[in-house]
Every structure is written in structure tokens, then in C-alpha cells.
Structure 1
Amino acid sequence: MKNLLIAAAIVIVGVASAKAADLAAHHMYTKAPPPVAAVYDWTGFYIGGNVGYGWSENTDPSLTVVNPGGVGNIGPFLTTGLPGFSSGNLFPNLRPSGVFGGGQFGYDKQFGTWVLGAVADIQASDFKASALVTTPTTICCNANESLSAKIDWFGTVRGKVGYAANDWLFYGTGGLAYGEAQSTIGFACTPGGVGCGGIAFAGNASEVRVGWAAGAGISKAWGNWNVGAEYLHMDLGRSSVTALSINGAFTTTTITESQRFVEDMLRLTVNYKFGWGGPVVARY
């Protein structure tokens, strides 16, 4: 019995030793697992600034004249095709453009490679254009028609949907836009005198318009900071300005132009994201 136990022990020890040798050989020839990659996490609140340039589509002015009873001789100057007026109404079609800059605040949440977010911004802007058209007539004189359009400031509140490629983010965006639309208008007969009959009108208007904005952008992150470029199309709709007689000659007559306030913009952004604790380790 004793000999049998000794023999069994020798067999068990031998089997264990062989198994250990097999495991050692297996680990010797097995490749090490690939390194675990670090992936940037876009989740978090951020605040930043932006600067850019905007250019406009045509403002497409639309004329409305209220002149009860055809007072005075203003009709031939404002109606296309009447004798003595070579081209009819020629209020200028404008393209406001200029620089802008401001700040933004937002939040992004990453789900795998997809990023959802929201951002609000407000900017001071110098989008403006003005022009004067002088049209000769065969009656006596010239008709001077002036118009201007300007956006002093604007802002947006938008949603974002993006695709994250590690520390790069590609996104589309769209939502509410608002801004101050300003216009001036003038109409006069020159060089004056009896033939012009006191025709001189002027007016200005300013109103906060609400519309929409949509675009796309790209951002690159370095730790808490990221920089990006964004294209945005903003449409604030139409705003009207009315000219009244400036010398009292036409107390019941008004000249109104409505025009579009639409801008295309390119801007650079710089943001600081709060609470970034380093890259997220990807799990394989």
C-alpha cells in the first residue's frame, strides 16, 4: 500500500511538471496583446470665442408706394414705364458684408463615435452695404434713390450632431437665429426747383428679427482646448423701412422698401472645455 501511494505521488508530480512546462512554452511563443489606445472624450461644457467674415446674398428690395389721390407729380418718378422716366424704379439691390466676432457657450455628450450637443452664441458684426442710384428723366431732372442695410449684432441657439475621430470632431448644426436689422431709405428729385415740386423723402428703421441658421464645422482638440472652423448660413427674413416727406410737401405719401437680411459666414473658433481629466482608455 505504501509503495502504491509513493508511485501515485510520483505520477501526479510528473503530470504537474509537464503541464507547467507546456504553459511556459505557450506563453513564450504567444504574441503580446496590442497596446490599449487612448481615445479623446468630447463630453463636457465649454466656453470660447470666435471671429470671422460674412457676405450676403441679394437683399431683393421690394417697393410699395402709398400716394392717395396721386398727389403732386411723384407718380412718374416711382412707376416703371411712365413717359419721362427712363428706367422706372431703381432702388439698389445690396449685398451687406463685413467682419464679426463674439463668444459661445455649449455642451457636448459623446456616445461612442457620435456626439450630440447644443451651443448658444452672440456676436458684434459689421455687415453693411449702401448705394445711391441716380436715374435721369426726360421731364426735367434726376431721381435719386438710396438704400442701406446693416446688421450690428446677431446670435444663434443651435443643436449639433457630430462624428468623433478621436480628437477630431466633424459636425452639422442648425437652429434659431436672431439679430438687429437696420435700414435707411431716401428718395429725392434733383437738382430741385419748380420741376421737382418738393420731392424729398427719407426714413430709417431698426428691428430685432428672428430666423434660422444652419451649417457645418470641424474641431481639433488638444487637452482642454480645441480650435475649429465653421460655416454658417443665417436667414433673418425681410425687414421694411418707410420714407416720409422731409419738407411737408407730401403729408399722405409714403415710400416703403422691404429687403432680405441673409448672411453666409466663415469663422474660426477657440474653446476651453471644463472638467477634462485626460483621454478615455478604449476597451478592446
Structure 2
Amino acid sequence: MKKFVLALTVIAAMTGAASAADLGARPYTKAPVTAPVANWTGCYLGAGGGGAMTNNDNNIYDPVTGTAFTSNQTNGARGWFGTVQGGCDYQFQNWVVGGFADYDFMDVRGDTNMGTFATGQMKQDWQWAVGARVGYLVLPQLLTYVSGGYTQAHWKDTTLSFTGLPQFTSPGFTKGGWFIGTGDEYALTGFLPGLFWKTEYRYSEFDRQNSPINDFATGALLVNSTQKFREHSVRSELVYRFNWGAPLVAKY
């Protein structure tokens, strides 16, 4: 009996060893590759376009006595623009701060008038801005931000007509002011490394402008107008960042 039990033990041991040999070594599996996320530290260039809406609070007054000839009124202007931009950002943890400058090529037009005496059309043809922004990374590839800074815009000469004939003219002018904005920027990692898509709403307000209104034929000063411009714009741009692929700063 003892010899029988010993024989079964030897057979079981040999069978286990053979089974382990048949299984072989555990195959090596490579760790999954994690897709890279954006590093927001660095400089960029962008281009795009958008639309603008401007309100002009104005009236006409005597240049000598200051007596108002018309009551306060608001004229509107609407149009589009193309924009180019450049800037640099710095990322620390989930926060991004940076500075930028942009230039807009504009075609924003609106009617203006001298009470019931004459009507014309004003045109804003360019604007530039320089400012800073502070943002927070909601996702590693999605930045939400607020911006603000200084802006300056130009309005062209305006001709005012009565019964279809030009009667008055007002020279063009350049006016400065300030802006605030908010927007988001998203890394298009699946399309082209380094390419981002940015959309921003911006409110701009300009210093008051006092403009002469002259006789069209002789150029003689007739009256003055005071104007206050407030602008709403929405812009969308494609942005290319030069530092794509650099070591990440933030930890998520």
C-alpha cells in the first residue's frame, strides 16, 4: 500500500512539472501610449475673422456757444472684419497668463444724420488692440480665459446729403479706448499638432470724439458733433503654437 501511494505522488509531481513547462513564460505586454496634451507655455500666431456691432451716441451743437441743435440720439453700425494676432503665454499648473496684440481689417458701416437736415454713412475701417489674458485649463486641451487692454480704431471721412445732394462733410478720425473680453481656446490635436481654435467675445469703448461738420462746397465750419462709440464683436481664429511637444508644465 505504501509503495502504491508513493507511486501516485511521483506521477502527480511529474504531471504538474510537465504542465508548467507546457505553459511557458508569461508574455510581455507594452504599457499603453498616452496621447500628448498641450503645453501652453510659448508663443503663437493666429488669423481669422468675425463680426462687429457699434452704437454711436451723438448730437449736434454750436461750436461757439455749445448750444445743442439736436437731442441725444443713437446710431448703429454693423459689419465684418478680418484679424491677425500674435502673443505669448506662460502656464503654471492649470493656469495660463499671457500678452497679445492684434490688428483688424474692418468694414463696419452705419447711418448717421444731422437731425432732419441731412443723412450720411460712417465707416470704421481698422482697429488694433494690445492686452493681456488670464485663463484656466478646464481640460488639458481646453482653455477658458478673460482678456483686457487698450484699443484704437479709425473712422473714415463722412459726407452728409440733403435731397440726394452732398451738403456737409466731416473729417475722419482715430480714437483710443479700452476693451474687455472672454473666450476659449481648444487644441486640435487630431488635426495638426500645434493648431488651436480660439473664439472670443469682446466689448470695446472709445473716448468721446468732437468732430467739425463743414460746408461741402466751401469747407467752412458750420457746427460740431460729439460722438461716443461702444462696440461689441465676436472673433474666431486658428492659432499655431510653436512650442508643441515641449515638456509639460502642469500636472493633471
- TM-score with structure 2 setting the length: 0.73
Q: Tell me which residue corresponds to 1:17.
A: none
2:60 is aligned to 63
1:123 to 95, 100, 104: 104
Where does residue 143 of structure 2 map in the other structure? 169
Displacement of 1:179 after TM fit? 1.4
Q: Distance in 1 between matches of 2:216 and 2:173?
A: 22
Report the 3-state secondary structure (helix = DSSP H, G, I; strand = E; otherwise coil) of the residue aligned with 1:275. Answer: coil
Partner of 1:24: none
Cross-structure match for 1:52: 50
Tell me whether 1:225 sits opposite 2:195 in the alignment. Answer: yes
Say what the alpha-carbon RMSD is for the aligned residues.
Answer: 3.4
- Which residue of structure 2 lines up, in the alignment, with residue 145 of structure 1? 118
In 2, Cα distance between equivalents of 1:282 and 1:35: 19
Q: Residues 144-188 of structure 1: CA distance to partner in whole angstroms, max 9, x if unpaired?
A: 222433210001101010001200000000001011123525375
Instruction: Rate the CA distance shift 1:274–1:247 in 2: closer, same or farther, 3 A.
Output: closer
Aligned with 2:40: secondary structure?
coil
Structure 1 distance, partners of 2:174, 2:115, is 31
- Offset, 1:246: 4.1
Assess, with a 3 A threshold, how the Cα gap between structure 1 residues 90 and 191 changes in structure 2: closer, same or farther: farther
Q: 1:116 to 1:171 in 2, by over 3 A?
A: same
The structure with the larger Rg is 1
Quick one: distance in 2 between partners of 1:94 and 1:121?
27
What are structure 1's unaligned runs of at least 5 residues?
Answer: 1-33, 69-74, 80-88, 136-143, 193-199
1:257 matches 2:225: yes
Alignment of 1:22-37 (within 5 A): none
Checking the alignment, whether the CA contact within 8 Å between 1:183 and 1:240 is kept in structure 2 is no
Q: Offset at 1:283?
A: 5.8
Normalised to the residue count of structure 1, the TM-score between the two structures is 0.66
Distance 1:104 1:66, change over 3 A: closer
Distance 1:191 1:97 in 2: 23
Q: Which has the higher helix share?
A: 1
Is the Cα contact below 8 Å between 1:38 and 1:280 reproduced in 2?
A: no
Residues of 1 paired with 2:229 and 2:248: CA distance? 44
Question: Between Structure 1 and Structure 2, how many residues are aligned?
Answer: 216
Counterparts of 1:11-22 in structure 2 under 5 Å?
none
For structure 2, which runs of at least 5 residues remain unmatched after alignment?
1-31
